[in-house]
Amino acid sequence: MKIKPAQPFTFEGENDHAILLLHGFTGSSSDVRMLGRFLQKHGYTSHAPMFPGHGVPPEQLMETSWQDWWGAVEEGYQHLVDLGYEKIIVCGLSLGGLLSLKVGYTFDVRGVIPMCAPIMQQGMNDRLYDGVRQYARQYKQFEKKDEETIEDEMDEFETLPISTLHSIDELILVVREHLHEIKQPTLVIQAGKDELVPPENADVIYDEVQAEPKTKELYEDAPHIITLWKNKERVHERILSFIKEIEAR
């Protein structure tokens, strides 16, 4: 069975601020769709691009790099500019959070909201590879393939080069070097039960950005995909209040 891939979305509001929403590694725009609808309900336009290699067979993911994903971010930012928005805030989850930090020192955005963003390399490749293998297996199960076919394809999958994971390492190094250039208001959000990105990553981001003001929020019981957490409304409300604080400046 062929899986219909998730698509980019734009939810338009009547406010003069727009939010660029960035999904996570192996994820899709669905990661941030409910957040986008919440923001639209409160008058804010949001746009979420899809990163190359995501929402498609996992073998295609392993052919992409951070430069490909960054290209989608640039296009997403330009999409909001083309719609007439000059006041843009960026908010990203996991890999999207890492990319949101790059947006913060690259473009003239009004605020930056990284969620569960990796900025430390220790053990990251092993955790990412475990996650990729799990994603690949689940994708094949969603395709309704039989177990023998899945096992054969997983054996092949595990022979693929892991340059994609090394690319994330490279992106972490690139962004870490520039954290001090982020001056805009920054809200660092972190899950306490994050199985992929230890909370210490949020401490590093908070300490090294030169933002004014900057805030760090730890949600003790939340998992890595905090946007799909059972208490995600708490995160939504905090993001909304941060956006309103920026509006009032």
Give me the active site residues, please. 94, 194, 224
Label each residue of 69-87 as H, E or C: HHHHHHHHHHHHHHCCCCE
Tokens, residue 213: 């003001």
Looking at the DSSP assignment, which residues form a beta bridge with residue 21? Answer: 91
Of 137, 80, 132, 83, the closest CA to residue 109 belongs to 80
Q: What is the DSSP letter of 155?
A: H
Confirm if 186 and 119 have CB atoms less than 8 A apart. Answer: no
Per the CB < 8 A criterion, the answer to whether 160 and 169 are in contact is no
Quickly count: other Cβ atoms within 10 Å of residue 159's Cβ.
6
Please state, in angstroms and as integers, the Cα–Cα distance from residue 116 to each residue in 5, 175, 194, following that order: 24, 15, 8
